[in-house]
Structures are given as C-alpha cells and as structure tokens.
C-alpha cells in the first residue's frame, strides 16, 4: 500500500506517467572508488538492497576516464587501494591508470557488484519527501527510484574544464581534453600546444615530447614538481607480499605514515618555505637554461597549490623541440595560435590540460537536489559549499556524500578517507535503525560549529599562504581540503555523534515496506547465487505518533 501511495505521489509530482518507479533501500550515484566502496560495504553488511547508478558505460570513475599517456597515481598503489581488498602484485610503486582501472574492475567482480550497477544512467535529480521519508531519484533513462538513503558519490574531478579561448571553435586541427584523450590521433611529427601545467599535463607532456615535432607548453602559473620515488616491485617482493600478508600490511603502514608526515609542512608554512628553497635548487639542477628554470619556478610557497611529482617534467624542457610559453593566449586561428605579444605559432593540435570543474555548484548546477521543506542545495550553497565531515548536509536527511566538501587531500590517499566515510554512513544507517527512526538530519548548529573550527584551522596552513588555487572558492574559502591528519578524520568519524543529529520518526508508519520488490528483485535475479547474500530485514515497527518527531 505504501508503495502504491508513494508511486502515485511521485507521478503527480513528476507528471511523468511513463517512468518506471522502483523502490529500494539505497541508491548510490557514481561508480568510482567511492560508490564502489559503498556498494561493497553494503554487501558486507548483508544489505543487497541497493542500486549503483553510473552515468557512463562502466565502473571506474577517474581511472576509466583518464587514459592519457603517462597517466598514473600520485599516491603509492599499496596505499591507493582499499584496505579490505589488497593487491600483492602491483607492478610499480605508483601504478599507471590501466592497472588501477583493472584493480577497480577486479574488485567489483570479486564482490559481485556488477549485477547492482545500472550504466548510462545519469542521476539528474534527488528530492526528499518528508512525509514518506524517501528520496525520489531520477535518471536520464527515465527510471525513478524511491529510496531511504541516497549516496552521492559523483566524484570531485569528473567534468573537464574547457577554457574559453577566442577563436578555438574555428581551429581546423584537433582539440581534446586530457580526460578525453584522442588515442586515434597520431601526434607523430605534429606541432602541438598543451595548455595548462597541472597534474595531468606534467604527466603527458614528457611522454609525447619525443614523438611530436614541436611541443609548446603554455603555462599560466608554474607548479612545484618534486621527484617521484617510483620503482618497479621485484618478483621477490611481490611473492613476499603474497605469502606474508603481515609484510604487505607493514609496507602499507610505512607508506601511510611516510605520506602522513608530509602534512607537517602544510600546517607549518615556515617549514614549507624552507622546503621551497630545496625544491628551487632541484629545478635549477634539472633545467639547464637558467632563464627557463626561473620561469618554471613558482613564486608561492610550496604546498599552497597541489604539489606534483615527476622525474620527467623538468628535464623535458632541455629538449630542443619543447618550448615553455608564459605569454597569455590572445586567440586561436584556423591553423595557429597567437599569444598576447603578437607571436603566431603554426599548430596541428591543442591538448587541454586544463583540469576539471571542481566547484560542485557549477558542475551540479543542473542537478536538482531538494531537501526538507523543498530547500535546494544550489541555494544553500550559494555563498560556499559546506557539509559535516564532508558527508552530511543539514536539511538533507539521509543524503550521504562521499568525497564531499573538505575531505580532499594533498598528501595521502583519498581512499583512506572514502573508507572512513563509508563506515560512518553505515553507522548512521544503524543509528537510525537503533533509534527506530526513519531519517536523521545533521543539526544546523553542529554543521556550523564544525565548519567554523575547520576554517579556523585552515587559516594557519600553507594553503592560505597567498596563492590562488582550485582548492578555494571565489571568496577564498578552502572548501576542498581536510586541514588535519587523516587519522584524525578516521578517529572523529569512528562513532556517530548522535547529539549532532536530529533523528526523525514519521507520523504514519512507512517503514514496513517490503523493499524486496522491484529493483531488489532485479538485483537478485542477476546476482551470482553463490555470492548472493540475503536482503537485510527491514524494521516493521508500528508507530502511533501523528506528527514527525525528533527522537
């Protein structure tokens, strides 16, 4: 009956009579590292009552999309992998993209996640209905899901940033973004422009430089690039990791603490300043031409923007066919690019290494996210984005974000943060059950206190030492990074601070719904019977309250 009621209500709201409405406990949007981790851990908790919606054709997120030459992780693979799904035979300390992507797909198969995935389904809206305590989640395919929990795992770096350059549309050569690499285009003997000197460009430029006729690297702001302590793992090491799990764990433990120690200069700008001197000497040592070395040397403190790592980037500028261009771009013509000083360079191809749209208010501007009382996230976030532990947002009950505001890292593995968040979300779900409530909503004052403290800490970090970076929003507020050690995030999210939340019990009991219908049935039909787990039993308590109440 509840199902019928909800469906009717939804139909009235959406005016979409043809949409297929499916009831399910949890909807996850995004099948990258975050969404996959959530899916696996739900299964581990015996909850198969979820669906994983992905706008593209496969699982993988960042590592499915980015396949440019030299694409690799900046965090060591034994650390940049799930703690619960170790891989003994990583080829190198920093694995390339395809090895990471294979790891993601293998892990998805190991936990039999594919039957729960719906590909080519972009979530376009999620609206909370306080009467039923459900989220109505709509996708581009026309499917509509009614769920108790909506997990937003849509990732922080998945929408390419395309710069506005005069005349770009008239260019007769090839243009592509690093995240949409055109592997069919042969760069051999071509005149190529690469725009941007961020994390992607410093990886692909040294790889393509030996192939192309001429590579013009357009730099607006130089990045600090430190050596990458990369090497292949020996066969004996891989065997040891396999046969002695404690050895592998010790290796990961060592990597974790080595990375963690790097956060110290971030919290102590004076230490970072001293390190800048060493990094400067490194540039001078790597780049033969002194004037060029100077152009490549940043004028801000190391760490203020993301530190990049490469052993190939600076030496690349010693090549005769590589030019560093620091003049701004005036315009692009049919077969050339013109800089502000009037110089015109003939070119065949433009590669946009211009990064990603990182502000969720921009990349989610068409995403309708409505919480209590019809409040809209776009409006609540109009000044700046903020959340509670990057996971809950006041006014949006049972909405859980992964890699939300202020959970990003400059020094360690985001997967560590994702795992902590997923554990926290599962604990929140349990807290709802334990309190016999229907949904929980972080209190505005708790979110406010949390963020005031966070921003206070941010003021003393190197990230606030005077540069402009993608970590910040227009008002200068750093809404990207976690300004403490990662173990503190883990510790602070280990238990749900229940006093920071309102727990709401619905007036009329909507909870006895048999979620095993619809999407649940779809999942279990396709899931491998051998690994299939029983659906979690739903609470069916009867309540007599007439108004929603905080419990």
Of 403 and 420, the one with the shorter C-beta distance to ligand FAD is 403
Question: Is 85 within 8 Å of 43 (Cβ atoms)?
Answer: no
In the list 132, 286, 392, 413, the residue contacting ligand FAD (rule: CB under 6 A) is 413
Based on the shown chain and the rule CB under 6 A, indicate whether residue 40 belongs to the binding site for ligand FAD.
no
Q: Which residues are 332's β-sheet partners?
A: 337
Query: What is the pattern of x (binds ligand FAD, CB under 6 A) and - over residues 348-387?
Result: ----------------------------------------
Closest CA to 405 of 386, 424, 422: 386
Burial (CB count within 10 angstroms: exposed 0-12, middle 13-18, buried 19+), residue 346? exposed
Based on the shown chain and the rule CB under 6 A, indicate whether residue 136 belongs to the binding site for ligand FAD.
no
| CB atoms closer than 10 angstroms to residue 8 | 11
Of 376 and 509, the one with the shorter C-beta distance to ligand FAD is 376
Based on the shown chain and the rule CB under 6 A, indicate whether residue 105 belongs to the binding site for ligand FAD.
no
Helix axes 33-44, 97-110, angle to 10 degrees: 20
Cα 400 from Cα 272, distance rounded (Å): 35
Cα 202 from Cα 176, distance rounded (Å): 16
Based on the shown chain and the rule CB under 6 A, indicate whether residue 535 belongs to the binding site for ligand FAD.
no
Stretch that binds ligand FAD, among 60-68, 238-246, 383-391, 437-445 (CB under 6 A): 60-68
Which sign, positive or negative, has the C-alpha torsion 96, 99, 103, 105? positive
Based on the shown chain and the rule CB under 6 A, indicate whether residue 230 belongs to the binding site for ligand FAD.
no
Stretch that binds ligand FAD, among 31-39, 286-294, 445-453, 485-493 (CB under 6 A): 31-39
Nearest distance from C-beta of residue 29 to ligand FAD, angstroms: 4
Based on the shown chain and the rule CB under 6 A, indicate whether residue 454 belongs to the binding site for ligand FAD.
no
Based on the shown chain and the rule CB under 6 A, indicate whether residue 144 belongs to the binding site for ligand FAD.
no
Please, what is the Cα angle at 473 between 397 and 448, to 5 degrees? 40
Based on the shown chain and the rule CB under 6 A, indicate whether residue 272 belongs to the binding site for ligand FAD.
no
Of 35 and 298, the one with the shorter C-beta distance to ligand FAD is 35
Based on the shown chain and the rule CB under 6 A, indicate whether residue 74 belongs to the binding site for ligand FAD.
yes
Based on the shown chain and the rule CB under 6 A, indicate whether residue 75 belongs to the binding site for ligand FAD.
yes
Closest CA to 321 of 220, 186, 216: 216
Of 123 and 393, the one with the shorter C-beta distance to ligand FAD is 123
Of 114 and 214, the one with the shorter C-beta distance to ligand FAD is 114
Cα 265 from Cα 455, distance rounded (Å): 18
Based on the shown chain and the rule CB under 6 A, indicate whether residue 53 belongs to the binding site for ligand FAD.
yes
Based on the shown chain and the rule CB under 6 A, indicate whether residue 55 belongs to the binding site for ligand FAD.
yes
Closest CA to 360 of 377, 338, 343, 341: 377
Cα 344 from Cα 338, distance rounded (Å): 4
Based on the shown chain and the rule CB under 6 A, indicate whether residue 205 belongs to the binding site for ligand FAD.
no
Cα 479 from Cα 471, distance rounded (Å): 7
Number of Cα atoms under 13 Å in the Cβ half of residue 476: 6
In the list 200, 276, 310, 478, the residue contacting ligand FAD (rule: CB under 6 A) is 200
Cα 371 from Cα 134, distance rounded (Å): 10
Q: Which residues are 147's β-sheet partners?
A: 24, 135
In the list 95, 123, 350, 401, the residue contacting ligand FAD (rule: CB under 6 A) is 123
| Inter-CA distances, 139 with 18, 26, 106, 143, 524, Å | 13, 15, 27, 6, 21
Based on the shown chain and the rule CB under 6 A, indicate whether residue 73 belongs to the binding site for ligand FAD.
yes
Of 29 and 272, the one with the shorter C-beta distance to ligand FAD is 29
Based on the shown chain and the rule CB under 6 A, indicate whether residue 158 belongs to the binding site for ligand FAD.
yes
Nearest distance from C-beta of residue 364 to ligand FAD, angstroms: 8
| CB atoms closer than 10 angstroms to residue 239 | 12
Q: Which residues make Cβ contacts (< 8 Å) with residue 476, sequence separation at least 6?
A: none
Please, what is the Cα angle at 525 between 523 and 526, to 5 degrees? 70
Nearest distance from C-beta of residue 201 to ligand FAD, angstroms: 10
Based on the shown chain and the rule CB under 6 A, indicate whether residue 390 belongs to the binding site for ligand FAD.
no
Nearest distance from C-beta of residue 202 to ligand FAD, angstroms: 11
Nearest distance from C-beta of residue 533 to ligand FAD, angstroms: 23
| Number of residues forming the site for ligand FAD (CB under 6 A) | 32
Stretch that binds ligand FAD, among 48-56, 277-285, 390-398, 422-430 (CB under 6 A): 48-56
Nearest distance from C-beta of residue 441 to ligand FAD, angstroms: 23
Based on the shown chain and the rule CB under 6 A, indicate whether residue 402 belongs to the binding site for ligand FAD.
yes
Cα 276 from Cα 300, distance rounded (Å): 9
Q: What are phi and psi of 204, to 5 degrees?
A: -85, -30
Nearest distance from C-beta of residue 329 to ligand FAD, angstroms: 23
Cα 410 from Cα 203, distance rounded (Å): 17
Residues of this chain that bind ligand FAD (CB under 6 A): 29-35, 53-56, 61-62, 66, 71, 73-75, 80, 122-123, 153-155, 157-158, 199-200, 402-403, 413-414
């Amino acid at each position: 009956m509840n199902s019928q009621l909800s469906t009717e209500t939804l139909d009235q709201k959406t005016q979409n009579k043809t949409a297929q409405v499916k009831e399910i406990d949890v909807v996850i949007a995004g099948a990258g590292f975050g969404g996959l981790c959530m899916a696996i851990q739900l299964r581990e908790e015996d909850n198969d009552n979820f669906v994983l919606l992905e706008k593209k054709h496969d699982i993988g997120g960042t590592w499915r999309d980015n396949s440019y030459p030299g694409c690799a992780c900046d965090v060591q693979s034994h650390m940049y992998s799930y703690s619960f799904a170790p891989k003994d035979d990583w080829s190198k300390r920093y694995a390339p993209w395809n090895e990471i992507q294979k790891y993601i797909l293998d892990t998805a198969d190991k936990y039999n996640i594919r039957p729960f995935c719906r590909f080519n389904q972009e979530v376009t809206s999620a609206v909370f209905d306080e009467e039923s305590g459900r989220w109505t989640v709509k996708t581009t395919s026309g499917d509509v899901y009614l769920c108790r929990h909506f997990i937003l795992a849509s990732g922080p770096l998945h929408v390419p940033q395309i710069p506005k350059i005069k005349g770009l549309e008239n260019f007769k050569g090839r243009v592509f973004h690093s995240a949409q690499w055109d592997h069919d285009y042969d760069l051999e003997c071509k005149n190529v422009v690469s725009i941007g000197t961020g994390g992607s460009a410093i990886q692909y430029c040294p790889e393509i430089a030996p192939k192309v006729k001429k590579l013009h690297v357009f730099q607006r702001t130089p990045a600090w690039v430190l050596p990458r302590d990369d090497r292949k793992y020996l066969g004996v090491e891989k065997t040891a990791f396999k046969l002695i799990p404690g050895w592998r764990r010790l290796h990961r433990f060592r990597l974790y603490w080595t990375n963690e120690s790097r956060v110290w200069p971030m919290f102590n700008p004076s230490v970072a300043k001293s390190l800048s001197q060493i990094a400067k000497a490194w540039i001078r040592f790597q780049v033969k031409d002194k004037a060029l070395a100077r152009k490549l040397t940043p004028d801000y403190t190391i760490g203020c923007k993301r530190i990049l790592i490469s052993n190939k980037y600076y030496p690349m500028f010693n090549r005769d066919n590589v030019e560093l261009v620091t003049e701004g771009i005036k315009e692009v013509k049919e077969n050339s690019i013109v800089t502000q000083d009037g110089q015109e360079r003939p070119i065949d191809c433009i590669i946009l290494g211009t990064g990603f749209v990182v502000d969720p208010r921009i990349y989610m501007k068409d995403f309708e996210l409505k919480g209590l009382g019809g409040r809209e996230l776009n409006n609540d976030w109009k000044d700046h984005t903020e959340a509670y532990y990057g996971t809950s947002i006041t006014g949006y009950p049972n909405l859980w974000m992964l890699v939300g505001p202020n959970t990003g890292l400059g020094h360690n593995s985001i997967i560590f943060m994702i795992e902590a968040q997923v554990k926290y979300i599962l604990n929140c779900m349990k807290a709802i059950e334990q309190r016999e409530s229907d949904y929980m909503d972080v209190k505005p004052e708790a979110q406010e206190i949390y963020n005031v403290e966070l921003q206070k800490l941010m003021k003393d970090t190197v990230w606030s030492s005077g540069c402009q970076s993608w970590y910040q929003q227009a008002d200068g507020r750093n809404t990207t990074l976690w300004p403490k050690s990662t173990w503190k995030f883990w510790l602070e999210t280990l238990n749900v601070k229940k006093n920071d939340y309102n727990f709401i019990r619905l007036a009329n009991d909507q909870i006895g719904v048999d979620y095993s219908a619809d999407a649940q049935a779809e999942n279990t039909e396709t899931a491998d019977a051998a690994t299939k787990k029983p659906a979690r039993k739903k609470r069916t308590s009867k309540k007599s309250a007439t108004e929603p109440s905080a419990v």
